[in-house]
Amino acid sequence: MSEFPALTQEEFRRLCEFLYRRTGMVFTEAKRYYVERRVVERMLETGCGSFSNYFSQLRADTRGEIEQIINAFTVNETYFYREDHQLQCLTADLLPNRIRKKSQGEPIRIWSAPCATGEEPYSIAMWLLENWPLVDDYEIEIIGADIDTAVLEAARQGVFGKRALMRLSPYLIAKYFSQVAEDKWQILDDLRGSVRFGEVNIVAPGETRPYGQFDVIFCRNVLIYFDDTSRRIAAENLYENLLPGGFICLGHTESMSRISSLFEVSRFTDAIVYQRPDQHR
């Protein structure tokens, strides 16, 4: 790493502006060391002898370099109760809003896509059981979907390591998991039975349709990886999968407003989310 000089001020700014526009990730001067370290790692990995060469490769997305640098800057792991301010928003604002429009007996449908190994949909189930007083009054359907069949199988098994559980209290772990090995915990059958999983590619036009329409969709930290056309296809798919007035939660660096004009921004105390308009405009 020492064979590469640090980025100049101008190179740093150029890179940060590109990353913001392409991915929504914001880096200020305070994060300079963090950014430099990862960029130099990528330069070494790609064999680029100068920042200029590396930046050209990044802009052209040669050999998927944009995905590589996003991975270098993001936490490539999922865990229970990640970004739980959105779960707080779910029970404080989104569900109360949705049930006002529901007739008796109509279920609440929540979709986690992509769901990876299941931490997110199981988190939603646990959060509702723990934090929503009306949870017994409604039928709530939670579905996890992902393009990767291997992670879906892991999600169905529901066995997690210590890191995945790091945000959960001992109370929650004791209540919803059984320890199956020294560092392995499995979601209890009851909770596993409350989430179903299926395969989906959210950038394939129409492929999401068979899942039906949802009240709330969690689609976090995936749009950031797609090119512009794929993002627009995904946005149209997700629009179709939302009930009129339904909400979509994205990752904290993602903005639907920069992808599509199909949704309206909804600002709540705990989170900014996007809403399918009740009426077509």
- Kindly list the distances between the CA atom of residue 20 and the CA atoms of 25, 27, 79, 186, 258, in Å, as whole numbers in the listed order: 5, 8, 25, 39, 11
CB of 245 to another protein, least distance (A): 15
Question: Phi first, then psi: what are they for 147, rounded to 5°?
Answer: -80, -20
From the list 38, 167, 196, 232, the catalytic residue is 38
Quick one: 182 or 281, whose CB is closer to another protein? 281
Q: What's the rounded Cα separation, in Å, for the pair 228 and 230?
A: 6
Q: Decide: is 6 part of the binding site for another protein (CB under 8 A).
A: no
* Residue 60 near another protein by CB under 8 A: yes
Which residue among the candidates 42, 98, 109, 146 is catalytic per the annotation? 146
Nearer to another protein, 175 or 252 (CB): 175
Distances from the Cα of 4 to the Cαs of 40, 41, 66, 128, 274, in angstroms?
7, 10, 21, 50, 42
Long-range pairs for 36-40: beta carbons < 8 A, 24 or more residues apart:
36/6, 36/7, 36/12, 37/1, 38/69, 38/72, 38/73, 39/7, 39/15, 39/69, 40/1, 40/4
Catalytic annotation present for 146 = yes
Q: Does 278 bind another protein (CB under 8 A)?
A: no
Binders in 246-265 for another protein, by CB under 8 A: 260-262
Judged by CB under 8 A, the number of residues near another protein is 60
- Contact flag: residue 161 with another protein (CB under 8 A): no
Active site residue 38: yes
Query: Is the Cβ of residue 79 or residue 138 nearer to another protein in the bound state?
Result: 138
**CA dist., res. 239 & res. 252, Å (int):** 19
111 forms part of the interface with another protein (CB under 8 A) = no
Cβ 234 to another protein, closest distance in Å? 10
Query: In angstroms, what CA-CA distances link 69 with 36, 37, 43?
Result: 12, 11, 10
Furthest-apart CA pair in the chain: how many Å? 67
Residue 205 in contact with another protein, rule: CB under 8 A: yes
Closer by beta carbon to another protein, 25 or else 262:
262
Binding of another protein by 228 (CB under 8 A): yes
Q: For residue 72, what is the enclosing H or E element?
A: helix 65-73
Work out whether 120 is an interface residue with another protein (CB under 8 A).
Answer: no
Q: Rule CB under 8 A: which residues touch another protein?
A: 3-5, 8-11, 13-14, 17-18, 49-52, 55-56, 59-60, 107, 125, 128-129, 135-142, 190-191, 193-200, 204-211, 227-229, 232-233, 236, 260-262, 280-281
